[in-house]
């Protein structure tokens, strides 16, 4: 079987694949849930397809937040370049154009020049840093993960470098010294546990989400999918869930999320992307929101 290059994220399937064949998921037990539904989410900080589903997951949280929780697990997309030899692997430069294409497909800003200018040798350091952040609380860890994704996809920052991870930690109100200690200690074992669980469940690419109820009934959503598929999976396992109306005004959305891409704002406000872009530019001109302009799209932020 032909092996796809690491970091190859197929926009047709919506998957960033790892070139391994792993075990079946059929006979594996998933940990118990607190809310009625758990989204067991295998991801990686450098997964472009995972960045592509952020709008869907934000909308799901706004409409069905009381019914589910997300448990993030790191999947280990890029152990090292040396580990992936072969005719299809051309090194970091081969990823640059693919990232540009993925960003255009998902309408999410992705700057592939990172792989030409300061490529990551591995996605393991930011993955381990996320596990360290989780030791300081899931909410802070979620904000940290979002921040390092902004760094790599928009700002061309190499998030395998400790100085960038430390900056993200400081910006998301983590204890940087504690993060460093855990990054070099306990978080390594926690990351290995995530990799072991991924192998056990047969995870072969990202995003992989197991929508699971308290009785361990589960629905697998593999790859980037339309919003309706996430909604239907949740409702299939928990038919009592009721969609919540939410305020789509910019002040409310930026009150909930400190930063949003144009695509995210469009999805959450039920606008077309072009319409959302015009509206956000007007808000920025009025001084109501801030803007970080990247090569392939903007990140908007509350003032």
Q: What is the DSSP string of 143-193?
A: HHHHHHHHHHHTS---TTSHHHHHHHHHHTT--HHHHHHHHTTHHHHHHHH
Residue with the bigger pLDDT between 20 and 244: it is 244
Q: What percent of the chain has pLDDT over 70?
A: 90
Task: Give the end of a domain, one of 206, 233, 266.
Answer: 206
Name the residue among 128, 189, 179, 126 with its Cα closest to residue 152. Answer: 126
Q: Is residue 145 part of a domain?
A: yes
Q: Is residue 187 part of a domain?
A: yes
**pLDDT given at position 19:** 58
**pLDDT given at position 238:** 98
**pLDDT given at position 118:** 97
Give the number of domains in the chain.
2
Q: Is residue 230 part of a domain?
A: no
**pLDDT given at position 7:** 60
Task: Give the end of a domain, one of 178, 206, 234.
Answer: 206
CATH number at residue 282: 1.10.10.10
- The structure tokens 């992936």 sit at 84
Tell how strand 259-261 and strand 15-17 pair up: unpaired
**Are both 163 and 290 inside the same structural domain?**
no
**Are both 180 and 289 inside the same structural domain?**
no
Longest dimension (CA), the chain: 56
**pLDDT given at position 5:** 45
Q: Distance (Å, rounded) from C-alpha 4 to C-alpha 74?
A: 20
**pLDDT given at position 82:** 84
Instruction: Give tens-digit pLDDT for 232-250.
Output: 999 999 999 999 999 999 9
Task: Give the end of a domain, one of 181, 206, 231.
Answer: 206
β strands within 37-78, DSSP E:
37-43, 68-74
**Are both 199 and 288 inside the same structural domain?**
no
CATH number at residue 79: 3.40.30.10
The percent helix, strand, coil of the chain (3-state, each to 5) is 45, 15, 40
Name the residue among 88, 94, 91 with its Cα closest to residue 112. Answer: 94
Residues 272-288 have a mean pLDDT of 98
Tell how strand 297-302 and strand 289-294 pair up: antiparallel
Domain, as residue range, for 102: 9-206
For helices 273-285 and 262-269, the axis angle rounded to 10 degrees is 110
**Are both 46 and 175 inside the same structural domain?**
yes
**Are both 150 and 291 inside the same structural domain?**
no
Instruction: Give tens-digit pLDDT for 127-157.
Output: 999 999 999 999 999 999 999 999 999 999 9
Q: Answer yes or no: is pLDDT of 21 > 50.
A: no
Residues 171-186 have a mean pLDDT of 98
Mean residue pLDDT across the chain: 91
Residue with the bigger pLDDT between 125 and 29: it is 125
Check: pTM over 0.85? Answer yes or no: yes
Residue 102 is classified by DSSP as: H
Residues 157-174 have a mean pLDDT of 98
């Amino acid at each position: 079987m032909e092996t796809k290059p690491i970091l190859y994220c197929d926009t047709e399937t919506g998957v960033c694949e790892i070139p391994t064949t792993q075990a079946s998921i059929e006979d594996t037990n998933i940990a118990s849930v607190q809310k009625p539904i758990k989204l067991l989410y295998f991801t990686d900080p450098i997964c472009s397809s995972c960045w592509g589903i952020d709008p869907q997951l934000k909308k799901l949280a706004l409409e069905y937040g009381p019914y589910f929780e997300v448990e993030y697990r790191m999947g280990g997309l890029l152990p090292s370049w040396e580990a992936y030899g072969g005719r299809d692997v051309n090194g970091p430069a081969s990823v640059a154009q693919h990232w540009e294409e993925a960003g255009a497909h998902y309408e999410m800003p992705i700057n592939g020049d990172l792989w030409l200018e300061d490529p990551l040798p591995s996605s393991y350091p930011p993955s381990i840093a996320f596990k360290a952040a989780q030791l300081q609380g899931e909410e802070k860890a979620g904000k940290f993960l979002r921040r390092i994704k902004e760094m790599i996809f928009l700002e061309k920052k190499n998030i395998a470098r400790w100085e960038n991870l430390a900056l993200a930690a400081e910006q998301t109100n983590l204890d940087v010294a504690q993060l460093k200690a855990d990054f070099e200690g306990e978080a390594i074992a926690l990351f290995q546990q995530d990799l072991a669980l991924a192998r056990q469940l047969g995870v072969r690419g990202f995003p992989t989400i197991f929508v699971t109820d308290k009785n361990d009934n589960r629905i697998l959503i593999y790859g980037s999918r339309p919003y309706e598929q996430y909604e239907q999976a949740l409702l299939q396992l928990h038919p009592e869930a009721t969609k919540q109306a939410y305020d789509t005004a910019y002040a409310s959305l930026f009150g909930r999320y400190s930063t949003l891409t144009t695509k995210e704002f469009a999805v959450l406000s039920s606008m077309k992307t072009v319409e959302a872009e015009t509206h956000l530019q007007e808000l920025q001109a009025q001084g109501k929101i801030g803007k970080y302009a990247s090569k392939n799209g903007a990140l908007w932020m509350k003032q």
